[in-house]
Structure 1
Amino acid sequence: MTKILVAGAGGAPSEGVIYSLKQNKENEVIGMGSEPTDLILSAAEKKYYIPYANTEEYKNSLLTILEKEKPDLIHFQNDLEIFHASLIREDIQEAGTKIFMPDHNVIDTCVHKYKSYSAFKKAGVTVPENIEINNEEDLKKAFKELGDFEGRIWLRDSGIGGGGKGALPTNDYTLAKSWIDHYKGWGDFIAAEMLTAKTVTWLSIWYEGELVVAQTRARQGWTHGNRAISGVTGVTKVGVTISDPQVNDIAINTIKAVSGKPHGIFGVDMAYDKNGIPNPTEINISRFFTTVRFFTEAGVNFPEIFKQLALGEKLDISKGIVNPLENGLMWLRGMDTEPKLIKQGDIEQRIIF
């Protein structure tokens, strides 16, 4: 029996991982998390409360759980915890538990959006221009230099956090200033040129510089996107498998822009510009996206492959496979309903219009 400790248990990002790992009956999955009500919902066999990763109590609490359960592997599923757990990786490994993460400097670059933007641009990857917003003059400059044909810019929090944290598309300087004031975000926000609503994600696992597996997924809308001022919630409503050599090349170049020897999980989020070129907006580092169960149900279990690599087990696939899933598979999601895997074209066959 292999014992795996998954952080953030009960939350959607981690539950997809837990579901996938539990498809192998030889895996025992233990969950830990900082939200007791989320933990109650988790499918993990055991559930431990742990303080938030940016608190002083986190380290001792984690080491206590490791000492008691002695898991073979630990995996984290949100940027804040990934960043702080990475800082104590030696303590985790000394406790006898393996981790599978890239170097901390890679994590630091990826969880801070302006650092990753700078790395992408330096490597020659096509990206929208970004400006750090430290004061009102920077904000005025952003509107002057980055505004689209409607005068709009894209504001977002450049610090640790996903789900479109602090995102705001606007052509209104007063609103933008009030938005940053509200978040106390001067020095933490960045402005960027607007991209289109067409997005794609390239999820990959690497081992010591070698690409093991990657799969591309296009996004057709965000769950409850109409309830967010930015239209972005970080929760995909419909995902579709695709295969595009241009996306593959850009994703690989983006990853190599932040790491000379990629190791672990790299998920490249891209949005298309007006010229039809996918621009990387961020790398989701050392974690799977929320819809990783999609790939598991479709036939490629990324969390299981991740575990096999981390523990030196025999792989279920040959290394270097890109887009192993057929194109046109759709993953449909909604709140409080079971997700469903279908093929493009099934909707017209199943519904009376």
Structure 2
Amino acid sequence: MTRVLVTGAGSGLGNNVIRSLRAAEPALVVVGCHADRFLLKKSDADVNYLVPPSHAAAAYAAALRRVVARERVALVVPVSDEDVRVVSRHRRRLGARVFLPRHPVIELCQDKYRVSAYLRRCGVPAPRTLPVRRGDDMARLFRRLPPGRAWCRIRRGSGSYGAAPVDTPAQARAWLRLWREMRGVPATEFSLCEYLPGRDFGCQSVWDRGRMVLAKTFERLAYFGGGSQPSGVSSVASLARSVVEPVVVDVCRAAVTALDPRGSGLYCIDLKADAAGAPHVTDVNVGRFSLTTGLYDLIGKHSTAEIYLALGLGRPVEVADPYDIAPDHYLVRDVDTVPSIVHAEQLFEGITDLR
């Protein structure tokens, strides 16, 4: 009986991954771990372990090794950027398999400035992005970007952490000052990039030694907490729709190939379209599933979790067409409710429209 270890068990992403893995292989034994004892109580795993936080890398890795040995774990599945980074760094000493990109690729992709600059050098569409060297440097940086609004954000993290649109150098300086004074984040942790006003896409793809095995795409239509954030958006969609956008897949394929011609593992890529509608890569989340995995895995011919599990365990996989399309399914989420996935044709079933 196959046994896997899922980090972040009890969190939204951790439990999403556990559900998708179980749907792919019902007999799977899932071992969960988390550093938060309260979230761990919500875990859907069969067995759960309280471990040190992943930012205490040595202690965290040692705890994972103990869990792997005790539970005879075959595959370790990290679910957050920090988990991915630590698991990757210690991959040869965990005692179980991992299915991750090479560590230098992970380090590159987890720096939003570095990965954007690298992709642009490789000819992959990405917003022009500049590093902030000091807080009073904004006027010079604005002059180097296209005229108009810019996007100011922290170079690491997820969920639009520290991100805001800014129209002037003064607004950018004020944003940096707020984060320095309230959160202790120095200006050098930020980047400034061109603002892309178009559609917001996500593409989750699974790769094996340079070959795209499976890819699925969706579009974010509304955001969790968007109304309370200066940016108005988040990487977490409260409403998303599955879409057929071959150009999005083409851009993602070009991005992953540029990052590693022999790449393996998960690549969850966020893209924004420019004013002309052309998609640009804004984030490359490597080694972990997207929070929208439920939408990916409950529709279409194939499940990304199923393909990930098979490849991670060294099993053969055959997918005729890597772009798995199932358009016009909507993912609807809200706090303290079970997410729903409905097709466009079902949206008004059981509803009386009195508008």
The TM-score with structure 1 as length reference comes to 0.93
Structure 1's unaligned 5+ residue stretches are none
Question: Partner of 1:29 in structure 2?
Answer: 30
Question: Partner of 2:103 in structure 1?
Answer: 104
Give the CA deviation at 1:314: 4.6
Which residue identity does 1:2 align to in structure 2? T
User: CA-to-partner distance for each residue in 1:21-60, whole Å, 9 max, x for gaps?
Assistant: 1222210011111111111111111111111212142122
Give the CA deviation at 1:98: 0.7
Question: Partner of 1:352 in structure 2?
Answer: 352
Partner Cα separation in structure 2 for residue 185 and residue 30 of structure 1: 38
The TM-score with structure 2 as length reference comes to 0.92
Residues 177, 322 of structure 1: alpha-carbon distance in 2 compared, 3 angstrom cutoff: same
SS in 1 for 2:275: coil
Partner Cα separation in structure 2 for residue 349 and residue 132 of structure 1: 50
User: Once the two structures are aligned, what percentage of the paired residues are identical?
Assistant: 26
Match of 2:83 among 81, 84, 87: 81
Matches within 5 A, 1:256-295: 256-295=257-296
Question: Do 2:128 and 2:193's aligned partners in 1 also have CA atoms closer than 8 Å?
Answer: yes
SS in 2 for 1:220: strand
Give the CA deviation at 1:346: 2.4
Partner Cα separation in structure 2 for residue 245 and residue 27 of structure 1: 34
Which residue identity does 1:164 align to in structure 2? S
Partner Cα separation in structure 2 for residue 52 and residue 176 of structure 1: 33
Structure 2's unaligned 5+ residue stretches are none
User: CA-to-partner distance for each residue in 1:234-276, whole Å, 9 max, x for gaps?
Assistant: 2111221111221121111111121121200011110000111
Partner Cα separation in structure 2 for residue 167 and residue 329 of structure 1: 29
Question: Do 2:18 and 2:44's aligned partners in 1 also have CA atoms closer than 8 Å?
Answer: yes
Question: Partner of 2:164 in structure 1?
Answer: 168
Partner Cα separation in structure 2 for residue 219 and residue 251 of structure 1: 17
Question: Partner of 2:12 in structure 1?
Answer: 12
Q: Compute the RMSD of aligned alpha carbons.
A: 1.7
Partner Cα separation in structure 2 for residue 255 and residue 209 of structure 1: 8
Question: Do 1:20 and 1:296's aligned partners in 2 also have CA atoms closer than 8 Å?
Answer: yes
Residues 54, 32 of structure 1: alpha-carbon distance in 2 compared, 3 angstrom cutoff: same
Partner Cα separation in structure 2 for residue 79 and residue 242 of structure 1: 26
Which residue identity does 2:312 align to in structure 1? A
SS in 1 for 2:41: helix
Partner Cα separation in structure 1 for residue 289 and residue 61 of structure 2: 23
Residues 256, 43 of structure 1: alpha-carbon distance in 2 compared, 3 angstrom cutoff: same
SS in 1 for 2:93: helix
SS in 2 for 1:22: helix
Deviating more after overlay: 170-179 vs 236-245: 170-179
SS in 2 for 1:298: coil
